[in-house]
Amino acid sequence: MNRQKMSDYKFLRGGGEMGELIRSIDWTATPIGAEETWPTELKIATGIMLSTPFPMYIAWGKEYIQLYNDGYRPILGSTKHPQAMGISTRETFAEIWHIIESMFDGVMEGNAVGFPNFMLPLDRNGYVEECFFDFSYSPISDEDGNIGGVLVTVIEITEKVSRLKELQHTKLDLENAKAETEGQRDQLKRFFMEAPAAICVLNNYDLVFELINPLYQQFFPERQLLGKSVLEALPEIKGSVWDILRSVYDNDTTFEGNELLIPIARYVDGPMENRYFNFIYQPRHNASGKVDGILVFAFEVTDMVNAKKELEKEKDKFKLAILAAELGTFDMDMEKGTMEWDKRCRTLFGIDHQDTVTYEKDFLEGLHPDDKERVSKVIDRVFNKSESNGFYDVEYRTVGVKDQKVRWLRAKGQAYFDEMDRPYRFIGSVLEITDKKQEELRKNDFIAMVSHELKTPLTSLNGYIQMLQIKATKNADTFATGTLNKVTQQVKKMTGMINGFLNVSQIEAGKIPLNKSEFLLNDLIKEVIAACALIAPDHVITDCPCGPLPVYADYDRIEQVMLNLINNAVKYSPNGKQIKIECQLIDEIVRVSVKDEGMGIEPAYVDKLFDRFFRVEGNHTKAIPGFGIGLYLCAEIIQLHEGKIWVESQSGVGSVFYFSIPKLGILSGSL
């Protein structure tokens, strides 16, 4: 029988491509044998298999020789077909044989099996892949129940399973993403709640308070905001920011408010308050980019704005006061390297240009030549914190650049220092005192003239007293002698005072002469103490046991200084009894000190003590007579000796006045 004939078997008809393949096979060469010898049940099963599009597969006989249809073909992939047709399952499915063998054997014994979603690792495309099947293995038996093979009906669901897996992954990813988004949302909410700015979120067209952080709620402590629309919760904003909010929402624009006045109540039914805010209204968008709310960031700046207003008011008052007092003001900024003078200050320096002023060109150049060096030194001292504490108070003359007018000015100010004690700012004011100065000059001239005129009758008076004293001594008239002694003291006092005034006018004229000689300073001190002891019986004046101290100086002038200092120590310590004099030779410098336990001097006055006509103003000094020229004279005399004079004092405790002069009358160092 030729092959063409064999293919004519009815049970082998049709079956598409696999039908063709089955018909082309020489079954005699297989354990199944020639088609005409196939048992009926195999023929029937093959016929059914070839006529159904449903995947079907027959494993026949002990060798499980395979026949399959077009529906089954894809399960064999690219490497198993076509050679699988007509050979043993054991060979074709070697990689899974250990799994399916027992099931096949079971079927041969009559036990049909079937599993949904069964995984088999098939090597059908050059690699092992996990393949999933819904399948059933059922026996093919003859009419007596003898089983000849296995009929496999199968649907491969690998793609469905992998899509399912993908779906599961996607679901998992989605869940993770959701959890992450929720986490981020929580974090954002926490950030909102803990932010150092007041934040709220207004939702939808009606602008309903959706989220409010504690700082925002603090603006309106007991007012219920959450869940209410802005107009419902804060109706009073209708007159202020409502239009702005509406426009931010409707026009999708951001609005930034700066120190904006919003009259609003703090509490429910509370009074309206004028409150100021810095804020940002930021439109919020939904997924499709449409505005669906507004984010509000706000800071209340009411206190700051009110403080600023107050400051402006104070500034205006200050300006008025400065104007009324005819003060000029200056402001030097060392960090920026700038100097600012107001109009009045420029006038007082006779400047008519409008350019920025400079320290060298305008200030120093504007000073009177005789005052330049002194004022420069004062300013150097002001900038030395330890020496001056930044305090500035000086009188000087200016010579107008344009009008050449000489003006007397009093400048007062303060330098400010950084943590390294470097000055960074120097501000102050200047006041014209030309009239006062001229008045002083006239006063000086008058005092000089009067003192001069008084000296002559005083000299005669002294002469007459001496004559009377001689006479009274001769007559042993003790009453007259005593009285004349007292008169002599008073005349001496008066002479001292008149001499003082004369000295002042001499100094003013630069005419105080020094008559230097060598003498023992310790002897001079002893004599002065003895003289003072007579007029201050209530005080104990003690000298220090210093050895001989020869100096080359003006005896009378140094005596005048000592007298002044001891007299002051007595005068300004009405309750203190002890006055201690000390002198010391340090290198080639002699230093003398006069210490009292009196009223002391406030630190603010210490710098001014040696100024002419300066007296500490206070109730306790009012009753003590004086003209404020004693220390001025002392300072001038010591300066003429190239020495130094200074004071250390504590208010209510006492003072120590020091002076030092070079031993040989020549400056060889300083203390």
As a whole number of angstroms, the distance between CA 220 and CA 89 comes to 85
Mark 516-539 as b/e (b = at least 16 C-beta within 10 Å): eeebebbebbeebbebbeeebeeb
Q: Shortest approach of ligand ADP to residue 632 CB, angstroms?
A: 6
Nearer to ligand ADP, 89 or 564 (CB): 564
What is the secondary structure of 537-565 as a DSSP string? TTSEEE-------EEEEEHHHHHHHHHHH
503 touching ligand ADP, by CB under 6 A? no
As a whole number of angstroms, the distance between CA 93 and CA 76 comes to 9
Residues 530-589 close enough to bind ligand ADP by CB under 6 A: 564, 568-569, 572
Structure-token match 């019986």, residue found? 537
Nearer to ligand ADP, 21 or 637 (CB): 637
Nearer to ligand ADP, 235 or 652 (CB): 652
Nearer to ligand ADP, 364 or 653 (CB): 653
658 touching ligand ADP, by CB under 6 A? no
Structure-token match 């005192």, residue found? 433
Nearer to ligand ADP, 172 or 450 (CB): 450
As a whole number of angstroms, the distance between CA 81 and CA 75 comes to 9
609 touching ligand ADP, by CB under 6 A? yes
Q: Are 243 and 251 in contact (CB under 8 A)?
A: no
Which one of 30, 88, 92, 655 is in contact with ligand ADP (CB under 6 A)? 655
**Secondary structure element (H or E) that encloses residue 408, with its range:** strand 406-417
Which one of 73, 275, 539, 615 is in contact with ligand ADP (CB under 6 A)? 615
Q: Are 567 and 621 in contact (CB under 8 A)?
A: no
651 touching ligand ADP, by CB under 6 A? no
As a whole number of angstroms, the distance between CA 281 and CA 255 comes to 5
219 touching ligand ADP, by CB under 6 A? no
Q: Shortest approach of ligand ADP to residue 593 CB, angstroms?
A: 12
The Cα-based distances of 592 to 304, 542, 549, 657, 660 in angstroms read 58, 13, 11, 8, 6
The Cα-based distances of 219 to 104, 200, 234, 300 in angstroms read 83, 12, 12, 8
Q: Shortest approach of ligand ADP to residue 646 CB, angstroms?
A: 12
Q: Are 393 and 608 in contact (CB under 8 A)?
A: yes
Nearer to ligand ADP, 97 or 627 (CB): 627
Which region, judged by CB under 6 A, interacts with ligand ADP, from 12-20, 69-77, 412-420, 593-601? 593-601
As a whole number of angstroms, the distance between CA 591 and CA 582 comes to 8
Residues 620-639 close enough to bind ligand ADP by CB under 6 A: 621, 626-632
Which region, judged by CB under 6 A, interacts with ligand ADP, from 97-105, 299-307, 527-535, 594-602? 594-602
Q: Shortest approach of ligand ADP to residue 473 CB, angstroms?
A: 35
Q: Are 398 and 376 in contact (CB under 8 A)?
A: no
Which one of 379, 579, 616, 638 is in contact with ligand ADP (CB under 6 A)? 616
Nearer to ligand ADP, 198 or 507 (CB): 507
Lay out the sheet containing 328-333: strands in order across: 338-341, 328-333, 423-432, 406-417, 391-399
> What character string, x for contact with ligand ADP (CB under 6 A) and - otherwise, covers 61-100?
----------------------------------------
Q: Shortest approach of ligand ADP to residue 627 CB, angstroms?
A: 5
Question: By CB under 6 A, how many residues form the interface with ligand ADP?
Answer: 21
As a whole number of angstroms, the distance between CA 137 and CA 150 comes to 6
500 touching ligand ADP, by CB under 6 A? no
Q: Are 262 and 240 in contact (CB under 8 A)?
A: yes
What is the secondary structure of 348-367 as a DSSP string? HTT----SPP-IIIIIIHHB
* Nearest residue (beta carbon) to ligand ADP: 626
Q: Shortest approach of ligand ADP to residue 551 CB, angstroms?
A: 23
Nearer to ligand ADP, 390 or 500 (CB): 500
598 touching ligand ADP, by CB under 6 A? yes
131 touching ligand ADP, by CB under 6 A? no
646 touching ligand ADP, by CB under 6 A? no
Nearer to ligand ADP, 199 or 645 (CB): 645
599 touching ligand ADP, by CB under 6 A? yes
Nearer to ligand ADP, 154 or 634 (CB): 634
138 touching ligand ADP, by CB under 6 A? no
**In 436-522, where do the E strands start and end?**
516-520
Q: Which amino acid is at 471?
A: K
User: What secondary structure letter does DSSP report for 271?
Assistant: P
> What character string, x for contact with ligand ADP (CB under 6 A) and - otherwise, covers 304-343?
----------------------------------------
Which one of 596, 641, 643, 659 is in contact with ligand ADP (CB under 6 A)? 596
As a whole number of angstroms, the distance between CA 179 and CA 173 comes to 10
**Nearest by Cα to 63 from 148, 128, 164:** 148
Q: Shortest approach of ligand ADP to residue 633 CB, angstroms?
A: 8
| Residues contributing to the site for ligand ADP (CB under 6 A) | 564, 568-569, 572, 596, 598-599, 601, 609, 614-616, 621, 626-632, 655
